[in-house]
Chain A
Amino acid sequence: MASNFIRSVGQILRSTIYQNEGVTIMTIEKQNSFGGLIAIDLFLGGAGAGIFFISFIMDLMNRFQNITKIGAITGLILVLMGTLILFFDLGSKSRLYRLFINPSSWVTRGTFFITGFVIFGIAYSVFSWSLFGWTLLDKTTLLGKVVGGIAAFFSFMTMLYTGMLFSTMKRIPIWNTPILPLLFFFSSLYTAMAFLLLIGGLLVGIPIEDLHVLSMIEITFILLQLLLLGVFLWASGYNTTTTAESIRLLKKPLFNIGVIIVGLIIPLGLLIYYNVVDNGSMLTILLAALLLIEGGFLGRYCIIKAGIRFPLHTV
């Protein structure tokens, strides 16, 4: 028992020594509360909400109608899958209903957003597919647009919530920054658009001109994401010793190659190539979309795993 106890104490005290401008040596500890399951949940939740949101905007503009119907359903399915995974990560699943109690908590807010999105999203999808056509309920009616608008609002908030949840965590300085919600928000948008490109290319077979428009929007999202990622990495590297240590942890091949090169830069190049040189190879679009989805998931996973708790000290 004694040796086990000493081992447990050792695990708690296990530290990396880091020197802060040559003045203080502090104890640094990695977070272990959140891992792969939460990364999958945030990725699916963000991407799913993004797909629905973009689909609704396209619907409003009367563009890409053949994608938007499938997009709305796909978005809902992804969010539901993410919620199911989140459910498995909870310690006490039977008390799930209690998640609605404290509106000052981002977990409660997120639960409201996801619930609202699922309820109104299902209603809007029913309208979109005219499942109850005899009732004259259709997405083009005022009621349909209002229901869709509410669902889109909740999907927007769901995209934002995934970053807000982490950015309020005071113990992890690399998350506790206003740029993280923006980073996760645009990550949701570009992965959502990647899913829509997949749907457009594989399932629906939309016209090439439409694919060009969608891929140009995706290029804009990727450029914005790269800009935000650059600001995030630069600001975190100079913020505190703990964030600098987090950046050191983050900048491993999984992030450098998996997220930045394979997940963002190569697909950006492929999409530019598709628009400028290659006028119609579906393979280019599909490959770019798959790589973007991979990068979107790995990006969230790496940022979650790079969470380091700020060290306690008295100086």
Chain B
Amino acid sequence: MVIDLKKCVGCMACTIACKTTNQTRPGIFWNIVKDLEVGKYPSVRRFFLPTLCMHCENAPCIEVCPTRASYRQDDGIVVIDYDNCVGCKSCIENCPYGARYFNGDPDGYFGDQLTTSEKIGYRQHKLGVVEKCNFCIDRLKQGKEPACVQTCVGKARYFGDLDDPKSEVSKRIRSKHGFQLHKECGTNPSVYYLPE
């Protein structure tokens, strides 16, 4: 995935699209837009940094998972097998990008009285396990783009095959000097950012 920081307007439509598609519980955000400030007074500026699971090639979460519930698929997507996760939470604090959340609270947005939508949506989530973005794997199987990409108002997100040098994402990374977040961590993320 490629995210063009110049085009992100911070509307958080991607966060809402992710929430409605994946029906995550309160406090769990597989995709979130951080509202950051940089600079020194008076040259301070504000910018938006959309973050999600970076699907790293050298994912620390996979290395530290005691049950091997976290693993990388052949297509490069890092997924969690909820049937194997014990909820030890060590992956949460090992992910440099803060992409993982513990699903431990059974309440919905209105307390313990779940709405019909929540009752249906929460069936796909197990309590007591760790969750994160999976690039909307079910939508990918249907030939669709991830919900955040499809819904982005500023068309700031691009999804494609990084291994294919002719793909749009590869071309944009090359032509616009795409960079990875916190490259110094040595994780080789699959999400690239285009500079502001």
B78 at the interface (CB under 8 A from A): no
B63 at the interface (CB under 8 A from A): yes
B163 at the interface (CB under 8 A from A): no
CB-CB contacts below 8 Å: B47-84 with A: 47, 49, 51, 60, 63-69, 83-84
Q: Which residue of A lies closest to B193 (CB)?
A: A314
In the bound complex, do residue B129 and residue A172 qualify as a contact, i.e. CB atoms below 8 Å apart?
no
Q: A12-B27, A23-B40 are in contact. Are A105 and B90 (CB under 8 A)?
A: yes
A190 at the interface (CB under 8 A from B): no
In the bound complex, do residue B129 and residue A102 qualify as a contact, i.e. CB atoms below 8 Å apart?
no
> How long is the Cα–Cα vector from A310 to B95 in the complex, in angstroms?
11
Q: Mark A84-112, 1 if CB is under 8 A from B, else 0.
A: 00000011110110111110111110010
B86: min CB distance to chain A, Å: 5
Contacts of A65 in B (CB 8 A): none
> How long is the Cα–Cα vector from A171 to B64 in the complex, in angstroms?
13
Q: Which residue of A lies closest to B118 (CB)?
A: A1
Q: Which residue of B lies closest to A311 (CB)?
A: B36
> How long is the Cα–Cα vector from A111 to B103 in the complex, in angstroms?
23
Most-contacted residue by chain A among B27, B64, B92, B185 (CB, 10 A): B64
In the bound complex, do residue A169 and residue B93 qualify as a contact, i.e. CB atoms below 8 Å apart?
yes
B181 at the interface (CB under 8 A from A): yes
In the bound complex, do residue B185 and residue A170 qualify as a contact, i.e. CB atoms below 8 Å apart?
yes
A266: min CB distance to chain B, Å: 33
A284: min CB distance to chain B, Å: 41
In the bound complex, do residue B67 and residue A309 qualify as a contact, i.e. CB atoms below 8 Å apart?
no
In the bound complex, do residue B98 and residue A90 qualify as a contact, i.e. CB atoms below 8 Å apart?
no
> How long is the Cα–Cα vector from A96 to B182 in the complex, in angstroms?
34
> How long is the Cα–Cα vector from A153 to B174 in the complex, in angstroms?
53
Binds B, one of A3-11, A74-82, A257-265, A287-295: A3-11
Contacts of B49 in A (CB 8 A): 312-314
The count of chain B contact residues (Cβ–Cβ below 8 Å) is 58
> How long is the Cα–Cα vector from A71 to B190 in the complex, in angstroms?
52
A315 at the interface (CB under 8 A from B): yes
Q: A102-B66, A312-B49 are in contact. Are A25 and B39 (CB under 8 A)?
A: yes
In the bound complex, do residue A310 and residue B38 qualify as a contact, i.e. CB atoms below 8 Å apart?
no
In the bound complex, do residue A172 and residue B67 qualify as a contact, i.e. CB atoms below 8 Å apart?
no
CB-CB contacts below 8 Å: B93-117 with A: 93-98, 102-104, 109-110
The one of B37, B94, B96 in contact with A25, judged by C-beta atoms closer than 8 angstroms, is B37
- Chain A contact-residue range equals 35 or more
> How long is the Cα–Cα vector from A19 to B38 in the complex, in angstroms?
10
Q: A1-B109, A91-B129 are in contact. Are A312 and B182 (CB under 8 A)?
A: yes
Contacts of A27 in B (CB 8 A): 34, 36
Contacts of B26 in A (CB 8 A): 4-5, 8
A34 at the interface (CB under 8 A from B): yes
A257: min CB distance to chain B, Å: 28
A285: min CB distance to chain B, Å: 39
> How long is the Cα–Cα vector from A12 to B31 in the complex, in angstroms?
12
CB-CB contacts below 8 Å: A28-49 with B: 29, 31, 33-34
In the bound complex, do residue B37 and residue A13 qualify as a contact, i.e. CB atoms below 8 Å apart?
no
Contacts of B36 in A (CB 8 A): 26-27, 312-313
Q: Which residue of B lies closest to A17 (CB)?
A: B37
Given A25-B38, A105-B64, A315-B38, 12 more A-B residue pairs with CB atoms under 8 Å apart are: A13-B34, A91-B85, A91-B88, A91-B130, A92-B85, A96-B86, A98-B86, A102-B68, A106-B90, A107-B88, A172-B93, A314-B195
Residues of B within 8 A of A (CB): 5, 12, 15, 19, 26-27, 29, 32, 34-40, 44, 47, 49, 51, 60, 63-69, 83-90, 92-98, 102-104, 109-110, 126-130, 179, 181-182, 185, 193, 195
What are 25 A-B contacts with C-beta separation under 8 Å? A5-B26, A5-B109, A9-B15, A11-B27, A12-B29, A25-B44, A33-B93, A90-B87, A90-B128, A91-B127, A91-B130, A92-B86, A92-B129, A93-B86, A93-B128, A100-B66, A111-B66, A170-B60, A170-B94, A170-B96, A171-B93, A307-B93, A309-B98, A314-B5, A314-B49
10 A-B pairs with the lowest CB-CB distances in the bound complex, closest first? A91-B87, A91-B128, A107-B66, A98-B67, A108-B66, A33-B89, A105-B66, A92-B128, A169-B93, A4-B109
